[in-house]
Structures are given as structure tokens and as C-alpha cells.
Amino acid sequence: MPFEHILYERQGRIATITLNRPDRLNAIASGMPREIAQAVDMAAEDDGVHVIVLTGAGRAFCAGYDLKDFAEAPRGNRGTGTPEGDPRPWDPMVDFNMMHANTRDFMSLWRCHKPTIAKVRGFAVAGGSDIALCCDMVVMADDAKIGYPPARVWGCPTTAMWVYRLGPERAKRMLFTGDLVSGKEAADMGLVLEAVPDDALDARVDELANRMAGIPRNQLMMQKLLVNQAYENMGLNTTQMFATLFDGITRHSPEGVWFKERAERVGFQQAVKERDGGAPIAEGISRSTYKF
């Protein structure tokens, strides 16, 4: 089937899904999450496929949601998720429905009965880290970067995979700071499977994928269901529900409104630079300024 934002190919027993917006560092556009899920379904229904590799075209895996135009648009923050000029206030359930659909699409990588491997070079940040961490395993270039900077203001990782991969203390370390870490650091802390030099990344992922591709599909399915069910028993679905609700709230808190207004005034990139620079965020903001 034709895709707008991704590429899909199969070679032997390995299907490769490539996020294909290299001019925007494969930032998540409207429709991309659905296309990812459709491609995963194609691979899942193809009896010739045993393993799925997810990667990004060009120099990055995925730089998160493509928010520049939205953040700089001169419209009220409370109308997020509604057409420009819509006078209705923010509806948290409309927001939840929209973002939870994306979460479900990303989690198709987790739910698929076939192994999924994320191959990360460049950046897997914000929503891009959500996508990567939904895969069964992540292999990064040593110098690639992963993290969730919107945890500082204007975001919450809707897939909530940080805690399940890192445990509570290291997950808090990442989400309380919004820091980016290198592939090597991510591997050392157990966030990803391993990190290798960039020029060895393709070969290492191919080695892993080909090793798994020799296993019968029913064996792969049983092992994946076994491990995934442990996480489901820990309350993964409930955690993701709260995370997705909180994501909408972060964009409509007093500080979230401040960030949106700041992006409108000075541009999204400058607002992000200020948010992530280390100085107190929205210092001096008056909560009485915003009525909810």
C-alpha cells in the first residue's frame, strides 16, 4: 500500500519500516502514527516475515512531534486539538482520544507477535523516544541521543515505557530532568539493548535480526507473549492511560500556557532552548493569570 511518511520493504524474513521525513529529522507528522501501525500490521500478516526493523531515513531516527508550526501559531492554547479559530475551550477527552490513538499506533510495535528492533542513529527524542521504546529492543549508535525534554514543560511520555525499561529511580532521573543521554549512556543504564559505533550499527542490527529470523514464528510469538504479559500484569495499560491524560494537562497548565505564548513570541526553537537551558521555567508566573 502507498505511504506518505514511511517506507516499507521486505528482504527475506526481515521487514524494514523507515520513517521517511529526513528533511524534518523524521518528526512525527499527522498520519505517521497510523502508517506505522498499518506497516506493522502488514508485516504481522505476512507469514514470510519473522522480524521487523524500525529505522529513520537520513541522519536521525525521529526528532519527536513536528510542533513548530502549531506552537508558533497565534491561537489560544486552550483550543489544542481543535481547528484554528474554534472558540470552544480545551476538551481533555478530545485531547486524550487524539493522543491515545497515537499511543495505540506506536504500541503496535509492542503488541505485534513478531520481534521488533529499533535502529537509532542521530536523535530519538520526545515522541521519537516513545516510538523507539515501544520496540522489543533498541540498538543505538554510541553518539546518538535519546531523552524526553518535554518532561520539563509541555509533555509527558504517553507510552510510559521509561519506567518499565529503567525502573522507578532511573526513570525519575530522566523525566525529572528531561536530559538527553548518549547511546552509550542509555545502554549502560539499561534503557536500550546496546550501543555500537555508528559505522557498525547497520551490521549489528542485521546480525541480530538474521539470528532471530531463523527461529520459527510460533516460538518467537510464545516468547514475546510471555515477556509482554509480565508488563501487562504490572498495569501497563493503566499507566499509559494516566500518562496520556497528563500529556494533555501539561500543555494546559499555567506553565504550559506560558510556553505556548513564549513560542508564539520568540519562536518554537528559542522557547525550547530556554525551557531546556537549566534556568527556572516560567519564573514569576502568576497562577491567577490563568483561569481553568
Half-sphere exposure of 16 (CA within 13 A, CB side): 16
Q: Cβ distance 186 to 195 under 8 Å?
A: yes
Of 25-39, 88-102, 123-137, 157-171, give the lowest mean pLDDT range. Answer: 88-102
> What pLDDT does 290 receive?
46
**Per-residue pLDDT tens for 56-76?**
999 999 999 999 888 988 765
> What pLDDT does 292 receive?
36
* Angle between helix 92-106 and helix 32-45 axes, rounded to 10 deg: 40
> What pLDDT does 87 receive?
65
> What pLDDT does 105 receive?
98
Environment class of 241 (CB within 10 Å of its CB; exposed 0-12, middle 13-18, buried 19+): middle
Q: Which domains does the chain have, with CATH numbers?
A: 6-289 (3.90.226.10)
Distance CA 242, CA 227 (A): 23
Half-sphere exposure of 198 (CA within 13 A, CB side): 11
Return the C-alpha cell found at 161.
515505557
Average pLDDT over residues 261-270: 94
Q: Cβ distance 11 to 40 under 8 Å?
A: no
Query: Cα 105 from chain centroid?
Result: 11
> What pLDDT does 70 receive?
83
> What pLDDT does 86 receive?
55
> What pLDDT does 2 receive?
86
Return the C-alpha cell found at 89.
475551550
**Per-residue pLDDT tens for 179-231?**
999 999 999 999 999 999 999 999 999 999 999 999 999 999 999 999 999 99
> What pLDDT does 74 receive?
79
- Number of helical (H) and strand (E) elements in the chain, helices listed first: 13, 9
85, pLDDT greater than 80: no
Q: Are strands 116-120 and 137-141 parallel, antiparallel or unpaired?
A: parallel
Distance CA 25, CA 61 (A): 7
**Per-residue pLDDT tens for 236-247?**
999 999 999 999
User: How much of the chain, in percent, has pLDDT values that exceed 90?
Assistant: 88
Is 49 in a helix, a strand, or coil? coil
Q: How far is CA 2 from CA 6, 9, 51, 210, 261, in A?
A: 9, 12, 21, 27, 38
The residues facing 53 across adjacent strands are 16, 117
| Residue 30 identity (one-letter amino acid) | S
**Per-residue pLDDT tens for 111-165?**
999 999 999 999 999 999 999 999 999 999 999 999 999 999 999 999 999 999 9
